[in-house]
Amino acid sequence: MNLSGIYFITDRTYCSLPIYEMVSAVLDAGIRIIQYRDKDRTRREIYGEAARLRELTHAFDAVLIINDHADIAVAVEADGLHLGQDDLPLKEARRIVGKMLIGISTHSIAQATEAEAGGADYIGFGPIFHTTTKDAGAPQGLDNLRMIKQNVSIPVVAIGGISLESAQSVFSAGADAVAVATAICRGEIKENAEKFARIAGEIEKRPG
């Protein structure tokens, strides 16, 4: 399964569109990795939205990853589950989701190598830059991203404060994918998503 390019994370903070319309706009723009993340809805509401997003992402041949909720990921037959450092342990999550992709948020080399050793399929690493989306600690910077890439062999999704202006430098530092929420959701969502997709496409076409 392809985990390269732009990895969109749903964000209600800066976008008034319903989740379905938000994701539709991003998919129309060419982005093919969606993480459904919602910290405010009830589990029943999250399940209902996740089920609709599963149908939508299938129509676009896109990857759907559910944040936090292993049971909901299984129930809607998502492609993956994403967990933070304080969520369900990787070993226990694997028992629930089976062969489904599991990604782990990491903030250090120790966490990254532990995630890989534990069977994670990819890691999120960051925050690369300062971010207001959530309190994820001090910015890690591009040098630490390069170091992570030298120490793990699974895909690395860079996250945290990444803008249109900085996305190319993050790809150049070795990120397999770049996670974006605010920079797409703030303003004209489809236009922003198209710009990011263009950057990812240009990177993917480079030789070597």
Among 32, 37, 54, 94, the active-site one is 37
Catalytic residue among 41, 43, 95, 134: 134
Concerning whether 134 is annotated as a catalytic residue, the answer is yes
Helices (H), 43-153: 43-59, 70-75, 90-97, 109-117, 141-151
24, 32, 54, 105: which one is catalytic? 105
For the record, the structure tokens of 90 come out as 């990787």
Say how far apart CA 126 and CA 197 lie, in whole Å.
Answer: 21
Please give the Cα distance from 160 to 178 (Å, whole number).
9
DSSP 160-177: SS--HHHHHHHHHTT-SE
Question: Could you say which DSSP state residue 42 is in?
Answer: -
Could you confirm whether 37 is annotated as catalytic? yes
The DSSP 8-state label assigned to residue 55 in this structure reads H
Determine contact, residues 185/14, Cβ cutoff 8 Å. Answer: yes
| Residue 172 is among the residues annotated as catalytic for this protein | no
Bridge partners, 5 (sequence order): 177
Tokens of 31: 């982005």
Q: Which residues are catalytic?
A: 37, 105, 134
